[in-house]
């Protein structure tokens, strides 16, 4: 692995060296290295690109890292990763994709991640997307595209927390997440997004609350700068006695554009659903407050944005 790849790995997975536990590192469309444990098996798919990750029932306090890094310009990488979380397991999965586009061509990574959550299993899933490109005469010359799709199937009593972050360098992204929840299952999604330049980001969450007593909380915080565009769709269908909450909070700056489209549908009398959406610029009084601490207007703005996305 070269320095560029190591730097990408650090940006998306906070990894400075090989992680502990199970991992599968994919670099420029091919397997770079892999490690399995007694409880976690990783198997290459034979019918299409990607891997199956099997976590044995009852596995606790283990983690899986599956970073993808692309440092070749013009590479299009499509990968299907399926996660089978055994009954009663309690694990952490860290995924992420980093692109360093050193050339003029478009680099693209489309990851399709499917999670099959066994009964009463627990998962914390952390996903980071990051891109960088060479700059010539102040202009970026290569485009970075990422289109992650996440499919979540939750069995009775399972719990999943998904943290998805995209802060820099992705020019175009279409992010789709579809989840179905059985009885007593609970899904928490926290999205953090920042777009700049002329970037485009579309996020679409659909959660079907199918089982009695299941619940979801979908929270998005985003910042749109420069001339970037964001579209956020959060769709929750309450098909049983259930609870759903969705919240989109966006800071708009410069000439950016943000659309928030919450859609909650109750198909059951005991479905309780709430949506909240707020878009606005940074409040003038927030800037003034930090300026009374001696920060310049620009420094104040950075602090507010960083805090908001923390």
Task: Considering the complex, state which of residue 138 and residue 294 has its C-beta at the smaller distance from another protein.
Answer: 294
Residue whose entry in the numeric block shows the structure tokens 């950075």: 302
Nearer Cβ to another protein (18/288): 288
Beta carbon of residue 235, minimum distance to another protein (angstroms, whole number): 24
What is the helix (H) or strand (E) element at residue 3, kind and residue range? helix 3-13
In the complex, the smallest distance separating the C-beta of residue 163 from another protein, rounded to whole angstroms, is: 15
CB of 55 to another protein, least distance (A): 32
Smallest separation, CB 256 to another protein (Å):
18
Using the minimum distance from each CB to another protein, give the nearer residue, 18 or 291: 291
CA 158 to chain centre: 20
Q: Where are the alpha helices (DSSP H) in 20-61?
A: none
Nearer residue to another protein within complex by CB, 44 or 306:
306
* Matching residue, tokens 């990607």: 50
How buried is 36 (Cβ within 10 angstroms: 0-12 exposed, 13-18 middle, 19+ buried)?
Answer: middle
For another protein, the binding residues (CB under 8 A) are 221, 249, 283, 285-286, 288-297, 303-304, 306-310
Closer to another protein by CB, 138 or 284: give it: 284
Minimum distance from CB of 133 to another protein (Å)?
Answer: 28
Whole-angstrom Cα distance, residue 19 to residue 267?
A: 45
Which residues, 6+ apart, have CB-to-CB distance to 3 below 8 Å?
none
CB-count exposure of residue 64 (10 Å: 0-12, 13-18, 19+):
buried
């Amino acid at each position: 692995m070269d320095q560029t790849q190591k730097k990408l790995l650090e940006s998306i997975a906070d990894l400075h060296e090989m992680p502990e536990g199970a991992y599968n590192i994919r670099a420029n469309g091919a397997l770079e290295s892999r490690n399995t444990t007694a409880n976690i098996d990783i198997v290459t798919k034979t019918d299409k690109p990607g891997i199956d990750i099997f976590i044995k029932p009852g596995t606790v306090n283990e983690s899986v890292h599956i970073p993808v890094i692309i440092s070749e310009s013009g590479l299009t990488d499509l990968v299907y990763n399926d996660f089978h979380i055994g009954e009663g397991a309690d694990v952490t999965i860290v995924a992420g994709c980093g692109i360093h586009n050193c050339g003029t061509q478009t680099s693209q990574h489309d990851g399709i991640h499917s999670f099959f959550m066994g009964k009463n299993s627990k998962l914390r899933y952390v996903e980071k997307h990051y891109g960088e490109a060479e700059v010539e005469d102040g202009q970026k010359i290569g485009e970075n595209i990422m289109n992650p799709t996440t499919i979540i199937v939750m069995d009775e009593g399972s719990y999943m927390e998904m943290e998805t972050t995209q802060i820099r360098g992705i020019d175009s992204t279409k992010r789709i997440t579809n989840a179905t929840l059985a009885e007593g299952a609970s899904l928490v999604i926290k999205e953090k997004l920042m777009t700049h330049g002329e970037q485009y980001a579309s996020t679409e969450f659909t959660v079907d609350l199918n089982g009695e007593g299941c619940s979801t909380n979908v929270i998005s915080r985003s910042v749109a700068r420069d001339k970037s565009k964001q579209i956020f769709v959060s769709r929750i269908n309450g098909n049983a006695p259930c609870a759903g909450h969705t919240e989109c909070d966006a800071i708009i700056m410069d000439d950016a554009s943000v659309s928030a489209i919450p859609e909650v549908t109750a198909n059951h009398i005991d479905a309780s659903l709430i949506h909240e959406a707020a878009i606005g610029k940074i409040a003038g009084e927030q800037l003034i407050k930090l300026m009374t601490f001696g920060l310049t207007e620009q420094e104040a703005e950075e602090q507010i944005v960083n805090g908001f996305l923390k």
